[in-house]
Amino acid sequence: MDNGTNTLSRLIESALPTLAAIPEVDFVVAVDHFAPASVALVERSANLSPVRGLKEMHSQIPLVDFVLARGGFNTITECLITKTPALLVDEGGNPEVAANIAMVTSDGLAARITPEEFTASLPQRIRHFIGEEMPGIRSRLMQATFENSGPAEICEEILRTWRGAGGSHG
């Protein structure tokens, strides 16, 4: 769930008791930047599994039913390539992440969760995602084809969007 920039580490760490209280879902959690007490909570929880290192976290993506993570470029491209549904956290205040999430959600290839939902209604949001959104997302991902590769496709889309907003490439 965390990423290389550790942008959401505190949000994720604060949600650990909530995640542990969703027994029907098993979570893989990067614990590299958590306090020792939080790592211990993950290690003793029946439905939380710790991983260490970004490489190990990304290696889990093709093995899980869905990803709950920050909507960064690497996470999105990994999910597209592996056709893994994603519930992406829009961290707020980061136009790149907001644009990334907008692109994949507008095509129905992922869903969005806000930091407020992450804090106030995480179990309900996850259950809604699993029951209502994930089946359609999975179906669209399975039907999707990428001409080159997920990263190349997303990069081209980002550049098209950026140029359309008045940016220039130099």
Per residue of the chain (170 residues), what is the pLDDT tens digit?
A: 555 556 688 889 999 999 999 999 999 999 998 999 999 999 999 999 999 988 888 889 999 999 999 898 888 988 998 999 999 998 878 888 899 999 999 999 999 999 899 889 999 999 999 999 999 999 999 999 866 565 666 677 777 776 776 655 54
Q: How many CB atoms lie within 10 A of CB 165?
A: 9
The answer to whether 88 touches 110, Cβ cutoff 8 Å, is yes
pTM given for the model: 0.83
Cα dihedral 75→76→80→83 (10° resolution)? 60
CATH superfamily label, 9-164: Glycogen Phosphorylase B; (3.40.50.2000)
The C-alpha atoms of residue 15 and residue 34 are separated, in whole angstroms, by 12
- What does each C-alpha distance from 94 to 58, 71, 97, 107 come to in angstroms? 22, 10, 6, 21
Q: Is 84 helix (H, G, I), strand (E, B) or coil?
A: coil
Q: CB within 8 A of 170, min separation 6: which ones?
A: none
Residue 148 identity (one-letter amino acid): N
